[in-house]
Amino acid sequence: MVLRPLGSTGIQVSPLGLGTVKFGRNEQVKYPSSFEIPDDNAVRDLLALSHELGINLIDPAPAYGNSEQRLGRLLPGSRDEWVIVTKVGETFEKGHSSFDFSASATRESIEQSLRSLRTDYLDVVLIHSHGGDLEILQQEDVLETLRDLQRRGLVRAIGMSSKTVEGGLLVVQECDLVMATCNPDYNDELPVLEAAAKANKGVLVKKGLMSGHVKGAEGVSRSMEFIFSQPGVSSMIAGTINPAHLRSNVAALEAVLGET
């Protein structure tokens, strides 16, 4: 896959990123069927296949169980071959999410992610919104704390996994990139993508395949065609623990982008 610029961050990302929810969490998720969390050998093989297929973007989070710890142990190759996009603000324990956007919680989360991922820097850190995007950005300390960590060199780029149009537009103004929802059945956030393209800010698309609810090869291709016809899209995150699905997703995307 041909790498794409993540806005003006200087970071180059594969147009398909690997989501890792299923590496560490199978409770309170919205996938169409239940699943078992894969063992280390299966995760190691899937990461090696991702690397072989040209994927360099990996998307863990503290809210995804032990996904960061597993990546720290199992990610192949050298650190600079991967773009790690993690998050702050949400944790998941005993079947429930909790949110904390304070300065102290943000710093502690970054420090823990650095330890878990066995790295001395994070490529991208996104604020993991609970839905109150504007409140988080305007009233909490998380954004300014991330800016400080960015100035210190611990984080290369910052943004938010937003949930509202108003929040996404503010993220475009205040941050380096935005993660927004986009798929053929949901286009409410297209103004966010358009604003990001105009401002040369990075765009990561989530729920492009509707958390696994898109059916069949035709549905996947249709979704990818819609997403990558939008302005400014840097990469689409798709989570899987199935090597065949990973191969077919890459093949579909390369066909959509004319890279085959």
pLDDT digits (tens, 9 = 90+) for 3-32: 999 999 999 999 999 999 999 988 888 888
Which residue, chain included where needed, has tokens 């420090």? 111
Contact yes or no for 206/238 (Cβ under 8 A)? no
Question: Which residues form the domain of 193?
Answer: 4-257
At 240-260, the pLDDT tens digits run 999 999 999 999 999 999 986
Q: Determine whether 31 is an active site residue.
A: no
Q: Are 72 and 116 in contact (CB under 8 A)?
A: yes
H or E stretch at 64: none
Predicted confidence (pLDDT) at residue 111 exceeds the cutoff of 80: yes
Q: 161-191 pLDDT, tens per residue?
A: 999 999 999 999 999 999 999 999 999 999 9
Backbone angles phi, psi at 165, to 5 degrees: -65, -45
User: Over the stretch 51-82, which tens digit does the pLDDT of each residue have?
Assistant: 999 999 999 999 999 999 999 999 999 999 99
Question: What number of other Cβ atoms are within 10 A of residue 258's Cβ?
Answer: 7
According to DSSP, the residues that pair with 125 across neighbouring strands are 86, 158
Q: What CATH number should be reported for the domain holding residue 88?
A: 3.20.20.100
pLDDT band at 34 (very low <50, low <70, confident <90, very high): confident
Tell me how many domains the chain contains.
1
Question: Cα separations (Å) of 259 from 15, 56, 235, 255?
Answer: 11, 17, 15, 6
Spatial CB neighbours of 39, under 8 Å, sequence gap ≥ 6: none
CA distance 9 to 183: 25
Angstrom distance (rounded) from CA 68 to CA 144 = 24
Q: Which two tokens stand for residue 41?
A: 């050998």
Please state, for a pLDDT cut of 70, what percent of the chain lies above it: 100
